[in-house]
Amino acid sequence: MNPIQVAILTVSDRCSAGLTTDTSGPALGVMMRETLAGEVVATGCVPDEQEIIAEQLKKWACRISPPDLILTTGGTGLAPRDVTPEATLRVIERRHVGLMELIRRRCSEQTMRSYLSRGEAGTIRQSLIINLPGSECGATESLAAVVELLPHAIETLRGEVQDDGRTDAVMTAGKVIHHEF
């Protein structure tokens, strides 16, 4: 498998204004490199503005060589300016609620506050977008909750895996996963 290409978008009024330093975005980059040998191909920091967030997500996903994975950090809580999930829903083509369910369930073992995160996940073209909390701890713990699934998810999104559950599946664009029923 080719390295997972990752873009990381920090959503924070204070970080984008230079009033505080982003620690969650860089921590996610380190985690992707160390756990999956991922390659961070883009980073950004934007204010909590739906239009700006949505535009950046679309810009990355519509590149000639889009990132396989777009991680956002910040703007997933209940504060009035937390609008990352709404911005994400504006651009994704297919939601993937199961990833967020797994994140919340696994992270609830550390803190029940994980259920307060309103993050979304889904795809736009060939990119998987996952919204993560803004704190470094929340972002990295959330990513850790699903990191083992990401290689297969990315291979499937790239079209490198035919995983349709048919026992008579034949390879057309990569490898076939045979399911035991």
Residue 159 has pLDDT above 90, yes or no: no
Summarised one tens digit per residue, pLDDT across range 26-67 is 999 999 999 999 999 999 999 999 999 999 999 999 999 999
Residue 179 has pLDDT above 50, yes or no: no
Structural domains of the chain in order of their starting residue, each with its CATH number:
5-176 (3.40.980.10)
Q: Which of 45-49, 125-129, 156-160, 168-172 has the lowest mean pLDDT?
A: 168-172
Confidence category of residue 162, pLDDT binned at 50, 70, 90: low
Confidence category of residue 152, pLDDT binned at 50, 70, 90: very high
Residue 168 has pLDDT above 50, yes or no: yes
**CA 38, chain centre distance (Å):** 13
Burial of 51 (0-12, 13-18, 19+ CB in 10 A): exposed
pLDDT of residue 171: 57
Q: How far is 103 from 2, CA to CA, in rounded Å?
A: 25
pLDDT of residue 174: 56
Report, as an integer, the average pLDDT of 159-166. 69
pLDDT of residue 172: 57
Residue 180 has pLDDT above 60, yes or no: no
Residue 173 has pLDDT above 90, yes or no: no
Tell me the pTM: 0.90
Summarised one tens digit per residue, pLDDT across range 93-151 is 999 999 999 999 999 999 999 999 999 999 999 999 999 999 999 999 999 999 999 99
Contact 171, 25 (CB under 8 A): no
pLDDT of residue 118: 97
